[in-house]
A and B are shown apart, each in its own frame.
Chain A
Amino acid sequence: MIARLAWMLARPGRAGLGLTLLPIVAFAVVTTLMLTVIGGAQTLWNAPGDIRFIYQLLTVVALALLVVPLLSLGGAAARLAARRRDDRLATLRLLGASTATVSAVAVLESGALALVGALAGGVLSLAVAPLVGLIPFLGHPLGALNVLVAPWGVVAVVAGVVAVAIVSAVLGLRKVVLSPLGVRMRTDAPRQGWIAVVIGVLGIAGASFLSSALGAAGSVVIMIVMAGAAFAGALALMNLIGPWLIGVVARRRVRSASTPAKLLAARAILESPKAAWRQVSASATASFVAVFAGTGAALLNLMNGEDLRDQDAMLAVDIRTGVIVTVVGTFLMVACAVGVTQAATILDRVEVNRSLGHLGTPLSVIERARLGTVVVPLLTTSITAAVAAVVVVLPLAGLALVLAPLSVGMIVVALLAGVGLVLLGLLATRPLQARALSTEPAAASA
């Protein structure tokens, strides 16, 4: 009986088809990006010659940078799938389903959606391979065939995406199991501890000191270790400062908000600065990388044609290309994560937003508020991270700006393009919002 009810509640109706498709699309995007990143990395991993080790090192760094936004995107896709499921599982609980039945339904449903999406992503990665193959590395385009991942790799990625979805479903299930009515109470807005900020500021100051002392390092190995420590330390500490900073900015904006859209946006951010940070934190990484590695690449390019060997000149060009690809790729993932998170938010807030519409609030006001919940954290994190990176590599950044303005300009353009991508991800959800708010509720409740 319960099994039949579970199937009846789980199968998508005509009206709910869009809600079923959204998580599938999100999982497809995650899988495509993951396979594309791995495909590009495997090509560079097999770079020929005596600089192979450097390429492998840079590939590991790039992969490490891209893993965080990818996991964030995977988590957002899983949360979107959970949104569709929570109410129906609560209904099942009210009808007498056991915890085991509810858990099984959640796991099966999330796993099935993720599997369909991941398989679609596998196909999609084949479609984008020719485009990715055009990116020049090692003096020539990567080639479409070279960026294709081996079948066992595809299977592993698909399995990984399904696993993330299932784990996320199980973790999210506790709320439904504990509270069949699915009641969520919001109490006071959380505050961020200032100790984290002090540690963060001191850490970035330390990273800046390490960076400026690079010249005093006795050997290349020590220099690389110091640069790596400065880079990794600054990135880790940004995670401490980020949520606090977003909370401070939001609190100030709540006080000064003069329009409904600004007030709604600031309050929504303040509701969970950590969630706002998670949504766009990868943009901070991208901005930091753009300035940090971009400065290095620009200075390397300066030596191009002077006393560099051909191989070193190629490495300098490839580092710059790598920085741009990593920055744009990271922002692409942030854009996807923002799109997926916003789709979930739209579904989550449909009743409240519809009631605002009943009060006569124009859709444009609701949309401006939603834009603000993304743009304010995005610009706060991106600008702060870029400034932090400039502080860390201050003398070199100034030198690069003066001596290699073109290279610096290319990095800035990549950053702006990245921010534009995120805004596109946000705009892509506008039709969903319009559809959600235009549904006439009277039909169901008349």
Chain B
Amino acid sequence: MSDQIPTSFAERAAAAAPNRPSVPGGDPHPVLAAYGLSKTYGQTVALGGVDLAIGRGEAVAIMGASGSGKTTLLHCLAGIVPPDAGSIRFAGPGGSVEVAGLSERERSRLRREAFGFVFQQGLLVPELTAIENVALALMVGGVGRREAEQHALGWLADLGLSGLEQRRIGQLSGGQAQRVAIARALVTGAPVIFADEPTGALDSHTSSEVMDALLRIVTDYGRTLVVVTHDADVAARCTRTVHMSDGRIMDAALPASAPAAPHRGAGSHHTGPQFGADPAASAPADAAPAAVARPEEAQR
């Protein structure tokens, strides 16, 4: 398996979109940029020409009523579903990629190598232990089990889950299970993490703890976070909020300075296992830890 997203993706992206106009977001070199995204399901217009740019190290909240198209937008940006029309450019460590032009197989590989995901219910594999759930993300990319579990151990410790590695998901609280899901999203070194209602099934206290962990993705590890949420408190802690209605972006405030600082707990200064995102490619100037993970190593 190759170590990174092939440069041919970048070449194809350049050919597909040589002179793009600027899009809401303000970053001249966004990590993700969508132009004119459209998606319909039958007669329902889920996305009606969406433009959006997301800068490196941003924590962007996508808000809107049910049916506004926010989850569809997240799925298109993440390469889970292809848009009917439009372009999605991802500037990864290995070059620029036109996500919308990739085959299903290539999109699957892109998600495996460059994106991390946190879902509402965690959606972890219930039969596996916490450490196996996290290691699985690396093993799918071709990393050996022993090495994968070593890295998983580091991320679980970093997220305050030491001693719970051998617990099955049913033996963890909702907040602990979501932190396992966050560790699974981070362990591959993915520069962009997508979270779909990550606190939707949690009480307010646990929700706050999970958001702390999620925002550390940006502040401690220099990754980019895209969160779909109904919760205004969650959105308020992100650098920017995008409001959607009827498949369109109503407004997209320019990035604020930095995401609201997470409530730091024990071990929060640990920079995580030496595994994951390219610091030069994904770390914000003011928040990058000294050593963050390289995704290329994760695929070895």
B119 touches A446 (CB 8 A): no
- A156, chain B: closest CB distance, angstroms: 41
A187 touches B125 (CB 8 A): no
- B190, chain A: closest CB distance, angstroms: 10
CB neighbours (8 Å) of A357 from chain B are: 108
Q: Is A185 in the interface zone, CB < 8 Å from B?
A: yes
A355 touches B123 (CB 8 A): yes
CB neighbours (8 Å) of A445 from chain B are: 66, 71
Q: In the complex, what distance in Å separates the CA atom of A187 from the CA atom of B171?
A: 6
Near B by CB (< 8 A), chain A positions 410-446 give 440-443, 445-446
Near A by CB (< 8 A), chain B positions 98-127 give 105, 108-113, 115, 117, 119, 121, 123-127
Given A359-B117, A360-B111: A271 in contact with B71 (beta carbons within 8 A)? no
B46 touches A442 (CB 8 A): yes
CB neighbours (8 Å) of B115 from chain A are: 360
CB neighbours (8 Å) of B112 from chain A are: 359-361
- A269, chain B: closest CB distance, angstroms: 9
Q: Is B145 in the interface zone, CB < 8 Å from A?
A: yes
A446 touches B127 (CB 8 A): no
B113 touches A258 (CB 8 A): no
A260 touches B136 (CB 8 A): yes
B168 touches A188 (CB 8 A): yes
Flag B168-192 by CB within 8 Å of A: 1 or 0 each: 1111000000000000100000000
A263 touches B170 (CB 8 A): no
* Partner of A355 from B69, B109, B113, B119 at Cβ < 8 Å: B119
CB neighbours (8 Å) of B199 from chain A are: none
Q: Is A264 in the interface zone, CB < 8 Å from B?
A: yes
* Partner of B137 from A259, A359, A362 at Cβ < 8 Å: A359
A187 touches B140 (CB 8 A): no
* Partner of B145 from A187, A188, A258, A359 at Cβ < 8 Å: A258
A189 touches B46 (CB 8 A): no
Interface stretch, picked from B72-80, B250-258, B287-295, is B72-80
Q: In the complex, what distance in Å separates the CA atom of A18 from the CA atom of B126?
A: 26
A446 touches B68 (CB 8 A): yes
Q: In the complex, what distance in Å separates the CA atom of A357 from the CA atom of B132?
A: 17
Q: Is A302 in the interface zone, CB < 8 Å from B?
A: no
Q: Is A270 in the interface zone, CB < 8 Å from B?
A: yes
Flag B134-157 by CB within 8 Å of A: 1 or 0 each: 001101110011000000000000
Dominant secondary structure at the B interface: mixed
B171 touches A442 (CB 8 A): no
Q: Is B81 in the interface zone, CB < 8 Å from A?
A: yes
Given A187-B171, A263-B136, A440-B41: A446 in contact with B145 (beta carbons within 8 A)? no
B125 touches A186 (CB 8 A): no
Flag A328-364 by CB within 8 Å of B: 1 or 0 each: 0000000000000000000000011001111111100
* Partner of B75 from A258, A264, A268, A442 at Cβ < 8 Å: A442
CB neighbours (8 Å) of B66 from chain A are: 445
Q: In the complex, what distance in Å separates the CA atom of A439 from the CA atom of B110?
A: 20
Q: Is A365 in the interface zone, CB < 8 Å from B?
A: yes
Q: Is B128 in the interface zone, CB < 8 Å from A?
A: yes
Residue among A352, A356, A446 having the largest count of chain B Cβ atoms under 10 Å: A446
Q: In the complex, what distance in Å separates the CA atom of A361 from the CA atom of B78?
A: 14
Q: In the complex, what distance in Å separates the CA atom of A352 from the CA atom of B123?
A: 5
Near A by CB (< 8 A), chain B positions 15-47 give 39, 41-42, 44, 46
Can you name 22 A-B residue pairings with CB atoms under 8 Å? A188-B168, A260-B136, A260-B139, A263-B145, A264-B125, A264-B136, A267-B127, A267-B132, A352-B124, A356-B125, A358-B119, A360-B140, A361-B112, A362-B140, A440-B41, A442-B72, A443-B41, A443-B42, A443-B46, A446-B67, A446-B70, A446-B72
Residues of B in contact with A (beta carbons under 8 Å apart): 39, 41-42, 44, 46, 66-72, 75, 78, 80-81, 105, 108-113, 115, 117, 119, 121, 123-128, 132, 136-137, 139-141, 144-145, 168-171, 184
